[in-house]
Amino acid sequence: MKAIRRFHVRTVLPERIAALGELATNLRWSWHAGTRDLFAGIDPERWVAVRRDPVRLLSALSADELEALATDQDFVARVDEAMAGLRDYLDSPRWYQQLAEREAAGRCPQSIAYFSPEFGITAALPQYSGGLGILAGDHLKSASDLGVPIVGVGLFYKSGYFKQSLNAQGWQQETYPVLDPDDLPLSMLREKDGSPAEVILDLPGGRTLHAYVWRAQVGRVPLLLLDSDNDQNDDAGRDLTGRLYGGGGEQRLQQEMLLGVGGVRALRLWSRLTGAPDPDVYHTNEGHAGFLGVERIRELVKHEGLSFDEALEAVRAATIFTTHTPVPAGIDRFGVDQIRLHFGGGNEFEGVPVERLLALGAEDYPGGSSEVFNMAVMGLRLAQRANGVSELHGEVSRHMFDGLWPGFDDSEVPITSITNGVHAPTWVDRKVFDLAETYMGTTNIEEEQAWDRIAKIPGEAFWSTKRELRAQLVSEARRRLRSSWLKRGASPAELRWIDDVLDPDILTIGFARRVPTYKRLTLMLRDRDRLKRLLLHPERPVQLVIAGKSHPADETGKRLIQQMVQFADDPEIRHRIVFLPNYDIAMAQYLYPGCDVWLNNPLRPFEACGTSGMKAALNGALNLSVLDGWWDEWYDGENGWAIPTADGVEDPDRRDDLEATALYELIEDSVAPLYYDRDDRGLPPRWLSMVTHTLTTLGPKVLATRMVRDYVEQLYLPAARAGWQVDGPGYAGAKELSDYKARVEAAWSGVRVDHVDSSGVSDTPQVGDRFQVSAYVTLGELSPEDVRVQVVYGRASESDDLSDVSTADLEHVESYEAGRHRFEGSVQLSRTGPFGYTVRVLPQHDGLASISELGLVANA
C-alpha cells in the first residue's frame, strides 16, 4: 500500500545530549575525527549501517536508547567535550582574523559570496558530480578552517547526480534516488513567523518560480541551497532542481538563472533574516552562476538610481570569475532567442535592456557565433578579475579567450591563475595523521616546519602503515565488487573468487575520475597483452583499482567504461584489476590512501588542474601522470614520473599508441623495479626516499588552505578594495569610472603613435648600454593623464615578433597643437642576442585592474 500523505518526524534529543543535534548537522564532523568517534561509539555496527552519517544514526535511535545515552555520565561528558571543541572552532580567531588585524587600515571583506553549481562536502550530502564540486567543497571547508567569512550559494538537487551500477554486459546504469532534505544535515530558512522563506523569479509565459532555501553549515561557513520543489510551482518548475546537470537547454538555462539571480536574492534573504552583512566580494566558480551579475546590476539601477553602465562598473569591481574548462566545448552556450525569451519583453529586468545583456555574452570575435550567448564570456565581462586553476590552465585560458582582448599578446590577457588544492583533513587517512602525531609530534599541516620533519618517520613505520592502507582498500574493493556483481545478476555461490581479488602486498595503481573522452580511461588498454603481462608479472606484479562515472548522455564515455569492465571481467586477470562502480567521496577516502601510485593520462592540455593526484600524494603515493594541470607545474623529477606526450602528432590513434607505450615502459622499467627493490628489512629504500621527498616538497603546495589564502591575498582583497572604491558615497567612483570608459572608448579611434625616435645606441651595443626613446603620439580628445605610453622590448625573431618582453613607461614631456604630445624615457639593455622594441598607447585609470582590461591599444 502507498501512503496518501507523508511527513517527517524529527528526533527529539534529551536535554543532556541535545548538543548531538548541532554536532550532527554541522558538517565539520565530516573532517573532524573526534566528532565521528563520538557518534561511532554510540553503536559501531549501526554507524556502519547508516554509512557513517550522524543525522541518520540519530534518526535510527529509539527514544529509549536516547534516554539511556542521556543517563550515561561518561557519554554526556564526551558530548559536552565535543560541543566545547566545536564552539572553540567556531568562535576563536583564526588566520583570517589575524590578517584582518594587520590589514586594519585597508580593511578586509566581512563577507565573500562563493557561487557554484555543485558542492562536494560529504557523501552524506550528495550534491556533486565530480572535480568542480569537490573543489568547491574543499574551498568551503578550508575557508572555515582559516576563518575566511565565505557564504556558499548553490542549488539543492532532489536526486543529486546519479548512482552508477553496471549491467551484465558492463554497461553503465543510472538510478536517481530521491533525497528528502529532512533526512539530511540541512535546515530550511524561515521567516520570523515560522513560514518557509522563499526566493521568487519570473519565467516566460507568465510563470513564477518559487524556491525554498536550505542551509548546510560547513564548519564556520553557511551554504545556501535553493530548492524549486515547491508546491506553488507547476510540474516543470518543481522539477527544475531535480537533477544535477539534468534536462535540456531550457531547463539548464533556468537552473542557472535560479543559481545566479536567485542566489543573490537568497543572500539578501539570509542577511535580512540573520543580520549577516551583504557580501563585499562575489566569486563565481565557473560560468553557471554568471547571471548573479545581472541581478546585481538590476538592484543598483532600481535601488541606487545608477545607469546600466555605472552599475556594471560597480558590479565588475567586486566580482571574480574562475574558469575550470580548457576547451570551448565545456562552456555553457545558449541560443540568443532563449535569452530574449527569458530576459526580454515582459521578463526584462528593470534597467537591464535585453540588448545590453546579450552584448555581455556575445561571441563578437573571430570564430565566434552571433547566434549564441556564451556564459563564460559573460562571466569574464562581468568580473574585473579572472583566473584559471593551474599555471598551465591559466596559459590555456588566456589563449582560449584572447579574442576578447584584440591587440594584446596572450601573456597580457587579464586571466591569472591560482592552482587548486585539496582539504587534507578530508582526504588524508587517519592512520597517516596518527603516524605524524607519533613521530613528528604534530598533525598541524599549517605548521610549515612540520613538513621538514617527515624524514623523522622510520621507514618501517611508514611501510607498515602503507600496507594497512592497502589492506583497507583491498577489503573495501572486494565488498564493492561483490555488491556490483550481485547487481549484475551473479549469484553468491559463483563469487568466491572475489575473496582473492587484489593483494595488500602488490604494487597498487589507482585511476579514478569522470569519464569524458579526453581523460582516456582506456589508454592502458591499447596493448592488452602487454598490460596483462604487467598485471601477472611473476616477480613484479601490478594491480589496478579503477573507478569513474560517465555523464548519462555520453554514450562514448559509457562505451569506454564497458571496455574497461569487460577487460577486468577476464578470469585470467580479474584478481589484479577491478572497476568499482559509483565513484564518490566515500570510495575515494579508501582509494587515495590505499594506492602506491596515482595514474593520470589525459590528452594534454585538456586537464585544467586534476586534484586527485594531490590527495593520493598526501597519503604517501607517487604520481604517474602526463604533464598536465597541476603536475606540469610541480613535477620535479623526484616526486613521481612524467608520462611523455606525443605533442604535434595529429593522428589521435597514433598519439594514443605512442603515449600508451611510454606508460607501459615507465611501469616496467622504472615504477615496478623501484617498488620491488627491497633491502634486508624488506623495505624499498629508494621508493621511500621518493615518498619522503614528495611529502616534504609537495605537501605544503597542494593544500586547499594554501589555495584559499592565495584567493584572499591575490583576488578577494583587491576585489573588495576595488568594490569599496566604486561604492563610495553616491557611487561616485562607479560613475567616474563609467564616464572615463565611455569617453576613452568614444575617442580611441583618434589615438595613434605618429613617430618614434631613439638615440644612444652605438653600432655595437652591449649589455648595460642605455638608449633614449621619444614617442610622438596623437591623443585627439584625450589628455596625457588618460593614457599610458609604453616602450615594449624583448627578443626579436627574424620576422620581428617580440618574445620574453618587458615594458617601460614613457613620461609626458611636451604638448603640441591638434592633440599631439611627446613622451620620453630610456631603456637599459640587459640581455644579449637579437633585440627589438616598439611603442604603444594604453588607457590608464586607477579603477582598471590591468592594462588590457578595456581591450584598447594603439601600437606604433
pLDDT at 10: 66
pLDDT at 768: 85
Which residue is it, cell 563610495? 728
Could you give the CA distance from residue 521 to residue 275 in angstroms, rounded to a whole number? Answer: 49
Could you give the CA distance from residue 514 to residue 522 in angstroms, rounded to a whole number? Answer: 13
Could you give the CA distance from residue 155 to residue 257 in angstroms, rounded to a whole number? Answer: 11
Which residue is it, cell 616546519? 449
Instruction: Count how many Cα atoms sit within 13 Å of the Cα of residue 515 in the half-sphere of its side chain.
Output: 30
pLDDT at 3: 72
Q: What percent of the chain has pLDDT over 70?
A: 99
pLDDT at 445: 83
Q: Compute how many other C-beta atoms are within 10 angstroms of the C-beta atom of residue 410.
A: 15
What is the chain's alpha carbon radius of gyration, rounded to the nearest angstrom? 29
Closest of 220, 254, 227, 252 to residue 241, by C-alpha: 227
pLDDT at 9: 60
Could you give the CA distance from residue 800 to residue 777 in angstroms, rounded to a whole number? Answer: 22
For 533, 561, 713, the CA distances from 578, given in Å and listed in that order, are 16, 12, 44
Q: Compute how many other C-beta atoms are within 10 angstroms of the C-beta atom of residue 134.
A: 26
pLDDT at 5: 64
Could you give the CA distance from residue 684 to residue 499 in angstroms, rounded to a whole number? Answer: 27
pLDDT in tens, 509-564: 999 999 999 999 999 999 999 999 999 999 999 999 999 999 999 999 999 999 99
pLDDT in tens, 210-237: 999 999 999 999 999 999 999 999 999 9
pLDDT averaged over 10-residue windows placed end to end, the chain, 860 residues: 64 93 98 97 96 95 96 97 98 95 82 98 95 97 98 96 96 95 95 97 96 98 98 96 88 97 98 97 96 98 97 98 88 96 94 97 94 97 98 96 94 97 97 94 85 93 98 98 97 96 98 93 97 97 97 94 97 98 97 98 94 97 97 96 94 96 97 97 97 96 97 98 93 97 97 93 84 95 97 90 91 95 93 91 96 95
pLDDT in tens, 151-204: 999 999 999 999 999 999 999 999 999 999 999 999 999 999 999 999 999 999
Closest of 99, 76, 70, 88 to residue 28, by C-alpha: 88
Q: Which residues contact 143 (CB under 8 A, 6 or more apart)?
A: 114, 150, 220, 221, 708
Supply 805's cell numbers. Answer: 618582453
Omega prior to 605 cis, within 30 of 0: yes
pLDDT at 322: 98
**Beta strand residue intervals within 168-264, DSSP E:** 172-175, 187-188, 198-203, 207-218, 221-227
